[in-house]
Amino acid sequence: MRVPERWRKRYEIVRKSSGRAFADEWLNRKLQNESGRRSDVRAVKRGKGRGGNSGGNRGSAGDKVSRCAAEYAMLVVNPFVADHTACLPVSPSYPSRKVSTYAKGAFAVGSTRGMVIFSPRNMIANDNGTAPIYFSEAAWTGTAFTITPVASQIVAAQSNSPFASAEFGTAEDELQFRCIAAGLRILYTDTLLNRGGFVGALARADHRTLVSAGMGDLLAFDEATTYTPDGEWHELTWVPTDPAEYGYISSLTGTHSLGFMVEASNNLTFRYEAYAHFEVIGRGARGKTESTSDPVATGAIISGMQQNNGTTTVEQRIKDVTQAVKTAHANTQAAVGLWGALSAYGSYLVASSSSRPALEL
């Protein structure tokens, strides 16, 4: 198909990373979106402008999804970033402070197993009584996920959150929060000569705990995956899937529902990185920014993420989310806008090292 000069450079990036068919579909959506905008301008000049909200945070009933929904989609498909400006586009949509937290370290395989386990909610405080992350060291003799520290065997790790536990509560001068996206990933860092064994990975779709689960229990889940250590990052992601998780809370203790378990030679080493992103409200949450509600787009985004149960690459997550958006918003400008933004974002991730490219809607 004929490629307009203004889109040629980006079209080539998409074509090289995803193939001509995908690139042609992406360009077609872009051209449809432009055509829709020109029609709107002509309608306004004739005094027949569209109804609906105006401005940069329109909901899905307008000709674009809200900026908040688009930024949220980009965050959930790639939560491994150190900052964010997204909100969870559902009610309650109070102005909130957007906060990103992370923790990074290394774990080792014990006498028979190695493990790292993660609870996104627990990342909100930097001194949580129940740490968000527990991981094994070379002297570990256990075979099941645990959150009980044992000297030289199981270590607890805290996040770099700017908040302490004492700042949260239900009083007027205390803070409340909600977790909007999270991810855990690991990377084999030992020698090529020693590489072997296999890894089991699971992000529980129901967000129930993995504590006390062994390798056999983990692999009994349909959504669990296994692989041989290969020197690549392997990722698990988390999104709120129950409406009860959409509200603001003050309880700092969630469930450790994401984890990797390794069966390999003793003392093989891995790196881990855990990220969790929050909205925080309350009188002491300085630096609040606008949040909006866009429930139709949010439902499609979360539905797309649930298709892979958190265990895939960022490219596959983008495909799952865009497909869900196109299905939910068939032939609407809202679908075109979000599909185009995510497609461009995926192309940037493939073609460059930038993890937060400029957002174009």
Work out whether the CA dihedral 189, 194, 195, 196 comes out positive or negative.
Answer: negative
What is the pLDDT at residue 9? 77
Largest CA distance in the chain: 76
What is the pLDDT at residue 327? 72
Instruction: Note the pLDDT tens digit of each residue in 126-149.
Output: 999 999 999 999 999 999 999 999
Residues of the chain with CATH 2.60.120: 97-281
What is the pLDDT at residue 45? 43
How far apart are the C-alpha atoms of 119 and 294, rounded to whole Å?
A: 27
Indicate the fold that domain 97-281 takes in CATH: Jelly Rolls (2.60.120)
Token digits for 235? 């990722």
What is the pLDDT at residue 68? 81
How far apart are the C-alpha atoms of 267 and 319, rounded to whole Å?
A: 37
pTM of the model: 0.78
Q: What are phi and psi of 153, to 5 degrees?
A: -125, -55
How far apart are the C-alpha atoms of 170 and 162, rounded to whole Å?
A: 19
Q: How many CB atoms lie within 10 A of CB 114?
A: 29
Q: Are 123 and 182 in contact (CB under 8 A)?
A: yes
What is the pLDDT at residue 7? 75
Q: How many CB atoms lie within 10 A of CB 334?
A: 24
Q: How many CB atoms lie within 10 A of CB 267?
A: 15
Alpha helices in 289-359 (DSSP H): 295-306, 314-328, 333-351
How far apart are the C-alpha atoms of 175 and 216, rounded to whole Å?
A: 40
Positions of the chain with pLDDT under 70: 1, 13-14, 16-19, 21-22, 25-26, 29, 32-65, 308-312, 328-361
